[in-house]
Structure 1
Amino acid sequence: MESIWTQTCNHREKRPPLDRQIEADVAVIGGGMAGILTAWQLEQAGVRTVVLEADQIGQGQTKNTTAKITVQHGLFCHTFLEKKGEETARNYVQANQEAVKEYKRIIKEEGINCDLTEADSFVYSSDREKLRQETKAAQRLGIRADLKEQIEIPVPCAGAVCFPNQAEFHPLKFLYALADTLKVYEDSQVKEVEDHLVKTSLGSVKADYIVFAAHFPFINFPGMYFTRMHQERSYVLALENTGRIEGMYIGDGEEKLSFRQYDRYLLLGGQGHRTGENKSGGCYQKLKEAAQAYYPDSRVAACWSAQDCITADSIPFIGAYASDRPGWLVASGFQKWGMSSSMVSAMLLRDKICNIENPYAETFAPSRFSTEEIPQIARDSGHAVKGLAKRFFHVPEETANMLERGHGAVVETSQGKMGVYKSEEGELFKVDIVCPHLGCELTWNPDEQSWDCPCHGSRFDVRGNLLDGPAQEGIQYE
C-alpha cells in the first residue's frame, strides 16, 4: 500500500552504498526527515556531514506522514501547563513555532517546489469547556489561538481551537530537494557503532559526532530507550470526490479523526492503536465506514499507515544519547508530530554540535526524568514482560492447513511454534515468531499482513523481512 506522497513523486535513482572507510565531522544514521534536516542544517553551518540510510531516503516513516507542519499538537497546552509548568510548556511551544517558521524560510529561500500551503490548524472536541481552557492556555503560552464554534468538516463537535498560519506540504518533494545537496549513502544499514566509528557491511565512517535519527534508537545499552517509549500505528485514506477543505483538523478523544487536503485528495486518518495490538483488524474498514458516513460520494484512491514513537511525557528525546557516550546524539519520540519535531531536532542538534547555546535544549534533553514517566514506564514494561512470557505458554494447537487463505497465525507444528501466513494462492510463508530485538513474541496484524512486536514496535513482512525497528534483522525461518 503506497502513500499518496509515493504515488505523486517522481522516482529517484538509488544512491550507491558506502563501500569504503571515510571520515566526517558528523555521521547521521537515518535518511528520513529528521536525519536529512539535521544533515542539511549542519552542512549550512559548515560541518562536514554524511547520511547513512539502510534503504532509500524517505522510505521509512517520512513517506507515511500526513505532512502537517504545525505547533498544534492536539489539546496539549492546558495539560502541559498543569503537568509540566509554564517554562517547559512555553519552551515546547516556542521551539515548535520556530520549526514552522524555519520550514517556510527554507522552502522560500531555496526555491523548493513542494506544494507548500499555509493553512489554519484546528483541534475539535465535543467538550466545550476543554476547548475554552485550551484556547486560554495557548494564548498564555504565546500562541495566537481562537475558539471557533463552526468548522468546515462534517463531524459532530462543540467547536474547535484554531491556530492560524500553520502549513502543509509534500514531504518527499521537500526531502529530495534537500538531499540533493548532501552526501548520502543508501543501502547502508549500520551494523555496529563503537565510540566514534560507525560500521556498515561494506564500509565505515569515523566521525566526531554520531546522530541516531533512525526513528527508534536501535542500540539498547546505554540509553535504554526501549524502556521509555512504545510505538503506535495509525491509518490513512486518500479520498477523492469529497469537495475541498481549507484547514487541517484533528479530533480530541479515543476515536479521533484527522483531516487535511492535498490537491484533489482529502486525507482522512485515525484508528490508532499500540503496535502489536490489532489482532482483530478492521482499521481500514472503520475508516472507510467513516468516509462513507461523512462523504457518501467519496472514493478511496490510496490507503497506508504510519508508526510513531511515544514517550512517557509526550516530549521528544533530542540531545545526548547517554552520559557515557560523548559524541552520540539522538532524535526520537516525536509522537504524532514528526514534521515539526524533525525540524526542532535539526536545529537543536546543529546548535549542540556547533557549541551554540539553545534555550530549548533542556526541555528536550533525553537525560530528563520526571515522576510523570513512572506510570507509563510501568505500563510499557508490563507489555514487554507479557510479550516475553508468551514464548513459554502453550497455545491451542493449529496446523498450517487449517489457516484461511490471506490470513496469518501463530501455530504449533512438528518443528515448534512459528508464524505462518497463507497467501491467496495457498502458498505458506513461515517465520520465526520471536522478535530479534529483545525476544518478545510477535503478533499478526491482519490489516497490513505483517508480524508486529507488542513490546517495542518492530515489524516484519510475511517473508520475515524487517519493516520497522528497533530490530535490526529479519525473522526468516531456517
Structure 2
Amino acid sequence: MDLISGQPWWFYKNGISNAYPSLTQNTKEEVVIMGGGITGALLAWHLTRAGFPVIVLEKRHIGMGSTSGSTALLQYEIDTMLTDLIGMIGEKNAVRSYQLCVEAIYKVQLICKKLKVKTDFALQKSIYYASVLKDRDILRKEFEARKKMGIDVEWWDRETIRKNIPDLNKSAAILSHDGAQIDAYQFTHFLLQDCISKGARVYDTVEVTEIKHHSRGVTLMLDNGFKLDTKKLVIASGYESQNYLSKRVVRLHSSYAIISKPIDNQKELWYENAMLWESARPYLYMRTTADKRMLIGGKDEMFSSAVKRDKLLHKKSLQLENNAKKIFPHLPFVTDYSWCGTFAETEDGLPFIGSVKEHPDTYFALGFGGNGILFSILAAEIITDLMQGKKNRDAEIFKFDRI
C-alpha cells in the first residue's frame, strides 16, 4: 500500500538517520516483528529489554511508512469521546482506556530519558475547542466526565478563551494539562539503535510474501527467496496489518498536513504553544515544533485509492493554509512542506491488541487513530506480558472479539 505522498516533514528534517542491512540468508530467531515504524520499534524495545532475542523486518526503509508522516501529537484523548465510549464499552473499560493513555504519555517521556537522546519530546497542554456553538453542551458533558475520573482539565468559556487566545473566537474549550509531542521518526531510529546495541537485529527493504504456520512456530517467506523461522511473530505493520486478517476491523481514511516555515520573533505562537484540536468531525488539529513552525492537519476524506488521495494534496494544502490564516491572522504562515497519507480508525476508536485464531503463535499490535503512538505503548506492554506468560489485566479491553 502507498501510505505516504508529498513531503513528509520529519524525513526532510532528519534525513536518513541510520542505515540498516537487508536480510540475505535463511535465519531464525525467537521473536520476529513485522514492521519497522514507531509501533514495531516500541515493541522491539520492550521485548529486548525483557530478554527476548528479536528480529525486526521492514519492507520500506525504517520509519518511512506512516511514521514519517505522523504529526506526533501525544494526546490521551481517544478519537471517541469518553462520554460516547462509556456508552459503547461501559464506564469501567472506557475510563481505564483513557487512564492508560494518560499514563502512556509519561511512559514515552521516561523512555526518552533512558535513551538520553534528543527526540524533540516536550510536555504540552492541549485545547479541545467547540467548532460551533451547538457543540458547547457536548463538550461540557465531556469535561464533567473527564473531571470525574480524575483527569487534570479546566473548563474555558468564551471569555477565558479570548483572554488566553484572542484569535480563537469559540464558545468553549477543554484545557488538558496532560499531553506531549515528539519527533516520531527520530524516536523510532533511536529506539531501534538501542535495541541493536542489546543484540536485536533490524533489516529493511525486505518484504514478507507468505506466512506459514506450523507446529514449531511460524515461517516467513521473503521476497528475496530466503526464509525466516520464528517461535513468535508480532505483526506491527500499521494500516497494512488488515491484509493479514480475514475480518475487517478498520476503516481507511486519507488525511492531509502542512507545516509552515519557521515563524521568527515569536516566543509563543499562541497560548503556551498548546496543541489545538476541534470538536468537528473530521477535525482540524494544530501544533508547533521546536524550531517555531506551525503544523496543521486534517481535511480527511474516506480512502478510495492512493491516486485519488494524492490528486487532492494541492487543494487540501491550500484549504489547510487558509484555515491556519483564518484562525491566526497575525501569524505570517507560509507553507514549507505538505504531505498526505492513509490512516485507519476502528469502530470504537480503540486499538486491537492480541491474537486471533487464524494466526497461531502470532500477536497483532494495531494502534490506529489520532493517538496511535500511545496505543503502541499499550501494545508493547501487553504483548511483552503475554509472551512472558504474565496476565495483563488490560488485555481484555483491546482484544479482537470485543466487537
- TM superposition score category, shorter chain reference: 0.7 to 0.9
2:393 maps to a residue whose letter is P
Task: Quote the residue 2:192 is aligned against.
Answer: 179
Q: Please, which moves more after superposition, 146-155 or 75-84?
A: 146-155
Map of 2:3 onto structure 1: none
Match of 1:230 among 248, 251, 254: 251
Could you say if the C-alpha distance between residues 25 and 154 of structure 1 is closer, same or farther in structure 2, counting changes exceeding 3 Å? farther
Give the letter for the 1:344 counterpart: L
Measured after TM superposition, the shift of residue 218 of structure 1 is 4.7
- 1:255, distance to aligned residue in structure 2 (A): 5.3
Specify every segment of 5 or more residues in structure 2 that has no aligned partner in the other structure, as ranges: 1-5
Asked whether 1:135 is paired with 2:143, we answer: yes
Equivalent residues in 2 for 1:263-302 (5 A)?
263-276=291-304, 281=312, 282-296=315-329, 297-302=332-337
How has the CA–CA distance of structure 1 residues 218 and 316 changed in structure 2, closer, same or farther, with 3 Å as cutoff? closer
Verify: 1:53 aligned to 2:54, yes or no: no
Pair 1:148–1:219, CA change in 2 (3 A): closer
Structure 1 residue 13: Cα displacement: 4.4
Does the aligned pair in 2 maintain the 1:147–1:159 contact within 8 Å? Answer: yes
Q: 2:260 aligns with which of 232, 235, 239?
A: 239
Counterparts of 2:386 and 2:15, CA distance in 1: 35
Give the one of 201, 206, 225 matched to 1:188: 206
Identity %: 23
Match for residue 358 of structure 1 among 387, 392, 401: 392
Name 2:173's counterpart in structure 1.
Answer: 160
Deviation sequence 1:237-261 (CA, Å, 0-9, x none): 1123385231011111135310100
SS at structure 2 position matched to 1:180: helix
How big is the alpha-carbon RMSD for the aligned residues of Structure 1 and Structure 2? 2.0
* Secondary structure of the structure 2 residue equivalent to 1:55: coil
- Say yes or no: does 1:307 pair with 2:309: no
1:332 aligns with 2:401: no
SS at match of 2:401: coil
User: Which is greater in Rg?
Assistant: 1
Structure 1 residues 28 and 153 mapped into 2: Cα distance closer, same or farther (>3 Å)?
Answer: farther
The amino acid that maps onto 2:77 is: Q
Match in the other structure for 1:415: none
Letter in 1 for 2:338: C
In structure 1, the gaps of 5 or more residues are: 370-478
On the 8 A contact 2:367/2:376 being kept in 1, the answer is no
Which residue number in structure 2 is paired with residue 210 of structure 1?
233
Question: TM-score, normalized by length of structure 1?
Answer: 0.72
How far the C-alpha of 1:12 sits from its partner, in A, is 3.0
1:58 Cα deviation (Å)?
A: 0.7
- 2:37 — aligned with what? 32
Match in the other structure for 1:318: 353
Q: CA deviation at 1:228?
A: 2.4
Are 2:321 and 2:333, in contact at CA under 8 Å, matched by a contact in 1?
A: no
Determine if contact 1:81/1:137 at 8 Å carries over to the other structure.
no
Distance 1:360 1:86, change over 3 A: same
Aligned-partner Cα distance in 2 for 1:101–1:361: 20
- The alignment partner of 2:391 has SS state of coil
* Paired letter, 2:252: Q
* Equivalent-residue separation in structure 2 for 1:170 and 1:134 (angstroms): 29
Q: Considering Cα pairs closer than 8 Å and 6+ residues apart, tell me whether 1 or 2 has the greater RCO.
A: 2
Distance 1:266 1:159, change over 3 A: same
